[in-house]
A and B are shown apart, each in its own frame.
Chain A
Amino acid sequence: MVLQFLWRRCIATSLHLDSYGLFLKVYPFNFMRPRQNISEIFSTFIQFEADRFKSWVYDAKLRRSIENCLLKISDNQHSENFWAIYWHKNWQNQPNSLAETHLSAYLQETCYWSAQRTIPQIASVQCTLFDCFQIAIAEVPKILKACDPDQKATLKSYSNVAFGNVIRDALRQKQEIDFCNDWALLLKLSRKRLQESLQNAGLIDETIGCYLLAWKCFVDGYILGKSPQARKLQKPDSETWKIITQLYNRDRLTQLNPPGTEANAQTLEKWLLLSAKYARSYLYPVVSSLNAPKTGEADSELQDDLPDTTQNESLLADLIAKEEAETQKNQQQEIQNLLITTLGKLPPQSQKLLQLYYQQGLTQQQIAKQQQIQQYQVSRQLAKTRESLLLAIAKWSQETMHISPTSNVVKYISAVLEEWLQNYFGNLEPQTSKEQ
Chain B
Amino acid sequence: MSSFCVPPTQLWLEVSPEVQNQSWQQSQSSVSPRHRWNAFLNQVCLSTFLPWLQTEYAPEATVHTLPITWELVNGTAINIDTKRLILIPDKNLETREFSVPQEWIDIPQWAGDYYLAVQVNPDGQWLRIWGYTTHEQLKNQGSYDSQERTYSLDATQMIEDLNVLWVVRQLYPEEQTQTAIAPLPVLSATQIENLCQRLASSTNPRLELPFEMWGALLNSQDWPQRYIQKPSLVNLRQWFQNIVADSWQTIESYLGTQPDFAFSFRQVADVAEQSIQRVKEIELANNNQAVVLMLTLTAEIDGRVGIRAQLYPQERNVYLPRNISLALISASGEIVQSVQARETDNSIQLKRFKCPQNTRFSLQIVLDDFNFIEEFES
Instruction: A147 to B12: give the CA distance in the assembly, Å.
Output: 26
Q: Chain A residues near B96: list those with CB within 8 A.
A: 166, 169
Q: Chain B residues near A219: list those with CB within 8 A.
A: 33, 37
Partner of A383, one of B2, B91, B163: B163
Contact A145 B157, CB 8 Å, known A171-B5, A231-B123, A382-B8: yes
Contact present for B5 and A175 (CB under 8 Å): yes
Proximity bits, B289-306, A CB within 8 Å = 1, else 0: 000000000000000000
Contact present for A146 and B156 (CB under 8 Å): yes
B31 to chain A: closest residue by CB:
A224
A123 to chain B: closest residue by CB:
B4
Stretch at the interface among A56-64, A390-398, A423-431: A390-398
CB distance from A221 to the nearest CB of B (A): 8
Indicate whether A172 reaches chain B with its CB closer than 8 angstroms.
yes
Contact present for A410 and B5 (CB under 8 Å): no
Indicate whether A139 reaches chain B with its CB closer than 8 angstroms.
yes
Q: Report whether over half of chain A's contact residues are helix, strand or loop; otherwise say mixed.
A: helix
Contact present for A175 and B37 (CB under 8 Å): no
- Contacting residues of chain A (278-302) with chain B, CB-CB under 8 angstroms: 283
Indicate whether A206 reaches chain B with its CB closer than 8 angstroms.
no
- Contacting residues of chain B (154-202) with chain A, CB-CB under 8 angstroms: 154-157, 159-168, 170-172, 175-177
CB distance from B218 to the nearest CB of A (A): 24
CB distance from A218 to the nearest CB of B (A): 10
Partner of A376, one of B14, B27, B33: B14
Instruction: A171 to B4: give the CA distance in the assembly, Å.
Output: 11
Partner of A227, one of B27, B154, B369: B369
Partner of A165, one of B92, B93, B160, B166: B160
Contact A165 B155, CB 8 Å, known A190-B94, A223-B27: yes
CB distance from B197 to the nearest CB of A (A): 23
Proximity bits, B83-122, A CB within 8 Å = 1, else 0: 0000000011111100000000000000000100000011
Partner of A387, one of B93, B154, B163, B368: B163
Question: What is the size, in residues, of chain B's interface with A at 8 Å between Cβ atoms?
Answer: 59
Question: What is the size, in residues, of chain A's interface with B at 8 Å between Cβ atoms?
Answer: 68
CB distance from A186 to the nearest CB of B (A): 9
Indicate whether B313 reaches chain A with its CB closer than 8 angstroms.
no
Indicate whether B204 reaches chain A with its CB closer than 8 angstroms.
no
Stretch at the interface among A29-37, A176-184, A263-271: A176-184
Proximity bits, B205-232, A CB within 8 Å = 1, else 0: 0000000000000000000000000000
Stretch at the interface among A16-24, A86-94, A357-365: A357-365
Instruction: A418 to B20: give the CA distance in the assembly, Å.
Output: 35
CB distance from B16 to the nearest CB of A (A): 13
Proximity bits, B24-63, A CB within 8 Å = 1, else 0: 1101000001101100100000000000000000000000
Q: Chain A residues near B162: list those with CB within 8 A.
A: 383
Contact A228 B369, CB 8 Å, known A390-B167, A411-B161, A414-B9: no
Proximity bits, A137-178, B CB within 8 Å = 1, else 0: 001001101100000000000000110111011011101110
Instruction: A146 to B137: give the CA distance in the assembly, Å.
Output: 11
Contact present for A407 and B164 (CB under 8 Å): yes
CB distance from A232 to the nearest CB of B (A): 6
Indicate whether A187 reaches chain B with its CB closer than 8 angstroms.
yes
Instruction: A145 to B160: give the CA distance in the assembly, Å.
Output: 16
Contact present for B9 and A386 (CB under 8 Å): yes
Contact A391 B93, CB 8 Å, known A145-B157, A169-B155, A179-B1: no
Instruction: A168 to B24: give the CA distance in the assembly, Å.
Output: 31
Instruction: A362 to B359: give the CA distance in the assembly, Å.
Output: 51
B34 to chain A: closest residue by CB:
A220
Proximity bits, A390-424, B CB within 8 Å = 1, else 0: 11001100100000111110110010001000000
Instruction: A189 to B92: give the CA distance in the assembly, Å.
Output: 6
Contact present for B122 and A233 (CB under 8 Å): yes
Indicate whether A124 reaches chain B with its CB closer than 8 angstroms.
yes
A189 to chain B: closest residue by CB:
B93
Contact present for A175 and B2 (CB under 8 Å): yes
CB distance from A124 to the nearest CB of B (A): 7
Contact present for B37 and A223 (CB under 8 Å): yes
Indicate whether B21 reaches chain A with its CB closer than 8 angstroms.
yes
Partner of B5, one of A139, A146, A168, A227: A168
CB distance from A235 to the nearest CB of B (A): 14
Contact present for B175 and A406 (CB under 8 Å): yes
Partner of B167, one of A222, A226, A391, A408: A391
Contact A387 B167, CB 8 Å, known A189-B92, A231-B124: yes
Instruction: A283 to B93: give the CA distance in the assembly, Å.
Output: 10
Partner of A379, one of B2, B6, B167, B177: B6
- Contacting residues of chain A (192-247) with chain B, CB-CB under 8 angstroms: 193, 219-224, 226-228, 231-233
Indicate whether B134 reaches chain A with its CB closer than 8 angstroms.
yes
Q: Chain A residues near B3: list those with CB within 8 A.
A: 364, 375-376, 379
Contact present for A379 and B4 (CB under 8 Å): no
24 contacts between A and B (CB under 8 A): A142-B157, A166-B96, A173-B94, A187-B91, A189-B92, A219-B33, A220-B34, A221-B33, A223-B37, A223-B40, A224-B36, A364-B6, A379-B8, A387-B163, A390-B164, A394-B167, A398-B171, A405-B168, A407-B114, A407-B165, A407-B175, A410-B164, A414-B9, A418-B9
B residues engaging A (CB < 8 A)?
1-9, 11-12, 14, 20-21, 24-25, 27, 33-34, 36-37, 40, 91-96, 114, 121-124, 130, 132, 134, 137, 154-157, 159-168, 170-172, 175-177, 368-369
The 9 residue pairs across chains A and B that have the minimum distance between CB atoms: A220-B33, A382-B8, A188-B93, A187-B122, A387-B163, A146-B156, A146-B157, A172-B5, A414-B161
